[in-house]
Amino acid sequence: MGFLQLFDFLKRLQRNNHKKWMDANRKEYHQVRDFFIAWLDNINNELVEIDDHYFNTPGRKAINRINNNLMFHPDRPVYKDHFAAGLDQVTKQGDFYIELGVNECFMGGGYWHPSSKLLSSIRDAIDYNGEELLAIVNKKSFVDTFGGMLETKSLKNPPKGYSNDHPHIKLLKMRSFAAGWTFTPQEVLSKNYDKKVIEIYKELLPFRRYLNEAVTV
Protein backbone atom coordinates (compact mmCIF):
# COMPACT_ATOMS: atom_id res chain seq x y z
CA MET A 1 0.00 0.00 0.00
CA GLY A 2 1.26 3.49 -0.84
CA PHE A 3 0.43 6.86 -2.38
CA LEU A 4 -0.09 5.30 -5.83
CA GLN A 5 -2.90 3.17 -4.42
CA LEU A 6 -4.28 6.18 -2.53
CA PHE A 7 -4.62 8.24 -5.71
CA ASP A 8 -6.00 5.28 -7.65
CA PHE A 9 -8.68 4.77 -4.99
CA LEU A 10 -9.63 8.47 -5.09
CA LYS A 11 -9.94 8.41 -8.88
CA ARG A 12 -12.30 5.44 -8.77
CA LEU A 13 -14.26 6.98 -5.90
CA GLN A 14 -14.89 10.14 -7.93
CA ARG A 15 -16.23 8.06 -10.82
CA ASN A 16 -18.53 6.25 -8.36
CA ASN A 17 -19.29 8.91 -5.79
CA HIS A 18 -22.10 7.24 -3.89
CA LYS A 19 -22.57 5.19 -0.75
CA LYS A 20 -23.31 1.91 -2.54
CA TRP A 21 -19.88 1.91 -4.20
CA MET A 22 -18.14 2.93 -1.00
CA ASP A 23 -19.86 0.15 0.94
CA ALA A 24 -18.69 -2.38 -1.64
CA ASN A 25 -15.12 -1.07 -1.42
CA ARG A 26 -14.98 -0.17 2.26
CA LYS A 27 -12.21 -2.68 3.01
CA GLU A 28 -9.93 -1.00 0.46
CA TYR A 29 -10.92 2.43 1.79
CA HIS A 30 -9.80 1.45 5.29
CA GLN A 31 -6.53 0.05 3.92
CA VAL A 32 -5.80 3.33 2.12
CA ARG A 33 -6.90 5.37 5.14
CA ASP A 34 -4.70 3.32 7.47
CA PHE A 35 -1.72 3.87 5.15
CA PHE A 36 -2.32 7.64 5.21
CA ILE A 37 -2.63 7.62 9.01
CA ALA A 38 0.64 5.67 9.34
CA TRP A 39 2.37 8.15 7.02
CA LEU A 40 1.00 11.04 9.09
CA ASP A 41 2.36 9.37 12.23
CA ASN A 42 5.85 9.27 10.69
CA ILE A 43 5.70 12.95 9.69
CA ASN A 44 4.28 13.85 13.11
CA ASN A 45 7.18 12.09 14.83
CA GLU A 46 9.71 14.00 12.71
CA LEU A 47 8.07 17.33 13.46
CA VAL A 48 8.10 16.59 17.20
CA GLU A 49 11.88 16.27 16.95
CA ILE A 50 12.54 19.49 15.00
CA ASP A 51 10.09 21.90 16.67
CA ASP A 52 10.14 22.34 20.44
CA HIS A 53 6.73 24.02 20.37
CA TYR A 54 5.06 21.46 18.09
CA PHE A 55 1.70 20.15 19.29
CA ASN A 56 1.88 16.35 19.03
CA THR A 57 -0.89 15.29 16.63
CA PRO A 58 -1.08 11.55 15.86
CA GLY A 59 -2.48 10.53 12.50
CA ARG A 60 -5.87 9.43 13.80
CA LYS A 61 -6.39 12.83 15.39
CA ALA A 62 -5.00 14.71 12.39
CA ILE A 63 -6.97 13.06 9.57
CA ASN A 64 -10.15 14.69 8.29
CA ARG A 65 -13.38 12.92 7.38
CA ILE A 66 -13.73 11.97 3.71
CA ASN A 67 -17.49 12.58 3.82
CA ASN A 68 -18.72 16.00 2.75
CA ASN A 69 -21.05 17.81 5.14
CA LEU A 70 -24.26 17.54 3.14
CA MET A 71 -26.35 19.17 5.85
CA PHE A 72 -24.78 22.56 5.13
CA HIS A 73 -23.73 21.86 1.52
CA PRO A 74 -26.36 19.54 -0.02
CA ASP A 75 -25.10 20.29 -3.54
CA ARG A 76 -21.73 18.68 -2.93
CA PRO A 77 -20.83 15.05 -3.74
CA VAL A 78 -21.18 12.49 -0.96
CA TYR A 79 -17.39 12.10 -0.70
CA LYS A 80 -14.48 14.48 -1.09
CA ASP A 81 -11.94 14.10 -3.89
CA HIS A 82 -9.01 14.11 -1.46
CA PHE A 83 -7.56 12.88 1.80
CA ALA A 84 -6.60 15.68 4.19
CA ALA A 85 -5.21 16.23 7.67
CA GLY A 86 -4.11 18.93 10.07
CA LEU A 87 -0.85 18.47 11.97
CA ASP A 88 0.42 20.68 14.82
CA GLN A 89 -3.27 20.88 15.61
CA VAL A 90 -4.09 22.70 18.81
CA THR A 91 -7.35 23.69 17.09
CA LYS A 92 -8.61 23.17 13.55
CA GLN A 93 -7.65 26.76 12.76
CA GLY A 94 -3.97 27.54 12.43
CA ASP A 95 -2.77 23.96 11.95
CA PHE A 96 -0.34 22.64 9.31
CA TYR A 97 -2.73 21.41 6.64
CA ILE A 98 -1.96 18.67 4.09
CA GLU A 99 -4.34 17.74 1.27
CA LEU A 100 -3.74 14.99 -1.30
CA GLY A 101 -6.28 15.20 -4.11
CA VAL A 102 -7.00 13.60 -7.45
CA ASN A 103 -5.99 16.63 -9.51
CA GLU A 104 -4.21 18.88 -7.05
CA CYS A 105 -2.41 18.65 -3.73
CA PHE A 106 -1.75 21.35 -1.17
CA MET A 107 0.25 22.06 1.99
CA GLY A 108 -0.20 25.21 4.00
CA GLY A 109 -1.44 26.91 7.10
CA GLY A 110 -2.83 30.03 8.68
CA TYR A 111 -6.36 31.33 9.17
CA TRP A 112 -8.74 31.11 6.22
CA HIS A 113 -11.89 33.16 6.85
CA PRO A 114 -11.42 33.11 10.65
CA SER A 115 -14.21 34.05 13.03
CA SER A 116 -14.66 37.73 13.85
CA LYS A 117 -13.07 37.14 17.27
CA LEU A 118 -9.93 35.56 15.83
CA LEU A 119 -9.73 38.14 13.04
CA SER A 120 -9.94 40.92 15.61
CA SER A 121 -7.02 39.38 17.54
CA ILE A 122 -4.90 39.14 14.38
CA ARG A 123 -5.64 42.78 13.59
CA ASP A 124 -4.64 43.77 17.12
CA ALA A 125 -1.30 42.04 16.56
CA ILE A 126 -0.81 43.81 13.22
CA ASP A 127 -1.65 47.15 14.82
CA TYR A 128 0.90 46.46 17.57
CA ASN A 129 3.65 44.90 15.44
CA GLY A 130 2.74 44.61 11.77
CA GLU A 131 6.39 45.07 10.82
CA GLU A 132 7.13 41.53 12.02
CA LEU A 133 4.42 39.99 9.83
CA LEU A 134 5.58 42.02 6.81
CA ALA A 135 9.15 40.85 7.36
CA ILE A 136 7.97 37.23 7.43
CA VAL A 137 5.80 37.33 4.30
CA ASN A 138 8.29 39.45 2.34
CA LYS A 139 11.24 37.18 3.11
CA LYS A 140 12.69 35.92 -0.18
CA SER A 141 12.43 32.23 0.70
CA PHE A 142 8.79 32.69 1.76
CA VAL A 143 7.90 34.47 -1.48
CA ASP A 144 9.85 31.95 -3.59
CA THR A 145 8.05 29.05 -1.89
CA PHE A 146 4.50 30.35 -1.52
CA GLY A 147 4.32 33.43 -3.73
CA GLY A 148 3.13 35.41 -0.72
CA MET A 149 -0.12 34.95 1.18
CA LEU A 150 -3.13 33.34 -0.46
CA GLU A 151 -5.30 35.99 -2.06
CA THR A 152 -8.83 36.58 -0.86
CA LYS A 153 -11.30 39.45 -1.10
CA SER A 154 -10.34 42.27 1.28
CA LEU A 155 -12.53 44.88 2.90
CA LYS A 156 -13.22 47.98 0.82
CA ASN A 157 -13.14 50.22 3.88
CA PRO A 158 -10.91 50.09 6.96
CA PRO A 159 -12.15 47.80 9.75
CA LYS A 160 -13.78 49.52 12.70
CA GLY A 161 -11.25 51.38 14.84
CA TYR A 162 -8.66 51.87 12.09
CA SER A 163 -8.11 54.63 9.54
CA ASN A 164 -6.97 54.56 5.93
CA ASP A 165 -3.68 56.21 6.84
CA HIS A 166 -2.64 53.34 9.13
CA PRO A 167 0.83 52.12 8.01
CA HIS A 168 -0.47 48.53 7.76
CA ILE A 169 -3.95 49.25 6.41
CA LYS A 170 -3.54 46.75 3.55
CA LEU A 171 -2.96 43.95 6.07
CA LEU A 172 -5.74 45.19 8.35
CA LYS A 173 -8.27 45.03 5.50
CA MET A 174 -7.52 41.36 4.84
CA ARG A 175 -10.09 38.78 5.92
CA SER A 176 -7.83 35.72 5.66
CA PHE A 177 -4.21 35.11 6.56
CA ALA A 178 -2.97 31.89 4.98
CA ALA A 179 -0.19 30.64 2.74
CA GLY A 180 0.49 27.36 1.01
CA TRP A 181 2.22 25.35 -1.67
CA THR A 182 0.28 23.64 -4.46
CA PHE A 183 1.77 20.57 -6.12
CA THR A 184 0.85 17.54 -8.22
CA PRO A 185 0.21 13.89 -7.33
CA GLN A 186 3.36 13.06 -9.31
CA GLU A 187 5.42 15.08 -6.82
CA VAL A 188 3.91 13.07 -3.97
CA LEU A 189 5.17 9.90 -5.64
CA SER A 190 8.76 11.18 -5.80
CA LYS A 191 11.35 9.85 -3.35
CA ASN A 192 11.96 13.32 -1.92
CA TYR A 193 8.34 14.05 -0.98
CA ASP A 194 8.68 13.50 2.79
CA LYS A 195 11.73 15.79 2.82
CA LYS A 196 9.71 18.44 0.98
CA VAL A 197 6.92 18.23 3.59
CA ILE A 198 9.44 19.03 6.33
CA GLU A 199 10.92 21.91 4.28
CA ILE A 200 7.48 23.44 3.74
CA TYR A 201 6.65 23.07 7.42
CA LYS A 202 9.84 24.89 8.44
CA GLU A 203 9.34 27.70 5.93
CA LEU A 204 5.76 28.23 7.05
CA LEU A 205 6.51 28.06 10.75
CA PRO A 206 7.33 31.76 11.53
CA PHE A 207 4.14 32.83 9.72
CA ARG A 208 1.98 30.33 11.60
CA ARG A 209 3.60 31.12 14.93
CA TYR A 210 2.96 34.85 14.49
CA LEU A 211 -0.73 34.20 13.82
CA ASN A 212 -1.14 31.58 16.55
CA GLU A 213 0.42 33.88 19.12
CA ALA A 214 -1.85 36.68 17.95
CA VAL A 215 -5.01 34.70 18.61
CA THR A 216 -3.89 33.35 21.99
CA VAL A 217 -2.64 36.58 23.61
How confident is the model at residue 132, as a pLDDT? 97
Domain ranges of the chain: 1-103, 113-217
Q: By percentage, how much of the chain surpasses pLDDT 90?
A: 90
DSSP 113: S
Sheet holding 82-87, edge to edge: 82-87, 96-101, 105-111, 177-183
- pTM passes above 0.95: no
Neighbours of 44 (CB within 10 A): 22
Q: Is the pLDDT of residue 50 over 80?
A: yes
Please report the pLDDT score of residue 207 as a whole number. Answer: 97
